[in-house]
Structure formats: C-alpha cells, structure tokens
Amino acid sequence: DHLYTSTHKDGDSCAKQLLGAYQGTSVLALRPTAEAEIAHFGCASGRWERRGGEGLGSLCITSIVEKPTLEFARSNLVTPSIRQGEFLTVFGLYVLSEPEKLFAILEEQLELLRAAPLRVEPLCLTSALDQLRQELGLEGVVLHGERYDIGGEPHTYLRTLNALAPPAADK
C-alpha cells in the first residue's frame, strides 16, 4: 500500500539499492523518521556493520518493534549515527533469504490467534520479522528514497497524489 521514489544521486531505484545491500542475510529497507511519526511505523535499531562510500552501511538489527511509543523508542531504539529526535523506521521493502521460514512463522502466529478467539490483535509482520531476526539474523539498510502511502487514510492518499503529480503548466 505504498509507492516509492528514489532520491539516490545516481537515480538507483529503491529496489536496486536494497538488492545491492543484500549479502545473503535477509535485509529490510529503513529510513530515518521524526520521533513524532514513529507511532505509525515499525521501528528498528542495531549496530552498523559495513561502512563504505557515502552511506551508513549495513545495520545488524538487534531490535524491531511495531509502532512503539515514543518513551519505548527513546529507551530502547536509539541507533548510533541517527540524528537526535529521529528513529529508523521500516520502509516497507524486504529481501528475504529464507521466505519459507518467514511464512512458517506467520503460520505459527495465525494458529496461536485461532486458538485464542477472544484475542483481537492482528497477524503482525513485524513480530514475525523479529522472530526471523532472532533465529537467522536480519540486516537493514537506509535507502535514499521517499515512501508514499496509498492505502491508509484518504488524506494520505491525497498527499501522495499531490506529491507525485507533475507541476501544473503555467497558463
């Protein structure tokens, strides 16, 4: 439910940037996000592994949490080299080294939800990714790009249309 545009200096698409970061371990795309907005996204933190060129390198993810409170993020999700007042949020693009493992984790979660019909929590990709991280490792890379919501609230869809519309020709 998102569209992506690149801001990479060479014009590399967000997908190309993510594929370029893949080194055999599942990797997810990240972006710095103002702390006022983190309650809308999955957030990740970790330690930087590889540095090269202009980017921050690859992040060995040590924690990933769905829509944390600001207090939780300040206590548990600060990542070195990310500006104060910002946190790394999930960009919505992934390269999975073992997708069958992720689907097995999601199936386990679904069975647990079915076994407890009074629970109202939804099936959650972020918690499945955290379990994948614990079992097989998970890396992150900060992409040069923008994410536009097309599946949320009507105002976010309108914001996306306005951001991606060509400028009106002067008459």
Model confidence pLDDT, tens digit, residues 71-87: 999 999 999 999 999 99
pLDDT band per the 50, 70, 90 thresholds, residue 159: confident
Q: Look at residue 113 and tell me whether its pLDDT is greater than 90.
A: no
Domain ranges of the chain: 2-97+136-157
As a whole number, mean pLDDT of residues 160-170 equals 81
**What three-state secondary structure class fits 74?**
helix
Query: Would you identify the CATH topology of the domain 2-97+136-157?
Result: Spore Coat Polysaccharide Biosynthesis Protein SpsA; Chain A (3.90.550)
Residue 107: per-residue pLDDT: 95
What Cα–Cα distance (Å) separates residue 36 from each residue in 52, 63, 156? 30, 20, 16
φ and ψ at 127, to 5 degrees? -70, -35
Distance CA 122, CA 103 (A): 15
Burial of 12 (0-12, 13-18, 19+ CB in 10 A): middle
Strand runs labelled E in 35-169: 42-50, 58-66, 86-95, 139-142, 145-149
171 CB-near residues (< 8 Å, 6+ apart): none
Say what the pTM is.
0.86
